[in-house]
Amino acid sequence: MKKILLIYVGILCSALVFGQTNFQKLTLNEACEKAKAEGKMVFVDLYTSWCGPCKVMAADVFPNVQLGEFMNKHFVCVKYDMEKGEGVELAKKFDVHAYPTFVIIRPDGTIQHKLVGGDKLETFIDRVEKGLNEKTSLLYMQQEYEKGKMSNAELLAYKNALSDAASDEKAAKVYKELLQRLTDKEKTEKAYWSIYEDESCVIGSPMFDFLLANLDAIRKNTGEEIVEKFLFYHHAKILQDYIAGYAKEDAAPVEKVKAQIKGFRIKGQESLEKMLALAEPVSQR
């Protein structure tokens, strides 16, 4: 009976290990050689021991069976501590400044895609799939951009990929170029909604003002729930900053925020008005 139980436990443990993302103890060169022999790409997890999001990814995301099946099918997976061993040199090689950073590499060592930041399971798989697909990878889009033949939709995808890789200066340049090319009508369409999700689109910015001026059309095209969540998030965040005393000097004044909130009829309206009642006296003091 004991023997059978031990066999069962062994099988169960093997199944759990097999199901999760299989990070192998290989040097990067060894991983590239193995990927070439197996017809795969290399997935590199660049982390530190003190990084909170890195720990969450290791504990909650990479052990997931669905992700493990996907990753093990397409990649030879390796991970390196950026402050130890080979990781120290790789941090310089891959220009790593934030953790975790994930890099997708071709067997010949060429970097095809780069992702910065932890994520939830569902959206992480989507981000990795884009990097795995040559036509939606950062390397391919960089090459297309240099040819100067990108459509508006392709330019938006490139900007989003740059933001996902934390290439902020390049992303800002492409974003500015895209906004100059888009018509006012295109800016209200669902296909271009992510232009408002750029970190530069904050209360008081030209793009945020455009959003409010064309709110009915954008709501209709993009969907009320998406737009209302966006409005609630931005107004709640700035009010919380005022309440906590963290509002930046260039933040939109409370009076401007108040005028915008009074014109809304969104889910969470009551919560915004309660926060507003707290933020007003703090900002005046």
Active site residues: 51, 54
Q: Which residues contact 137 (CB under 8 A, 6 or more apart)?
A: 104, 112, 113, 130, 131, 161
Rg (CA), the chain: 23
Residue pair 83/24 in contact (Cβ under 8 Å)? The answer is: no
Other beta carbons within 10 Å of 240: 14
* Residue 61 amino acid letter: V
Tokens 């052990």 belong to 63
Exposure string for 104-121, b = 16+ CB within 10 A, e = fewer: bbbbeeebbbbbbbbbee
Structure tokens at 266: 């969104």
Distance CA 146, CA 169 (A): 16
Phi, psi for 3 (deg, rounded to 5): -60, -45
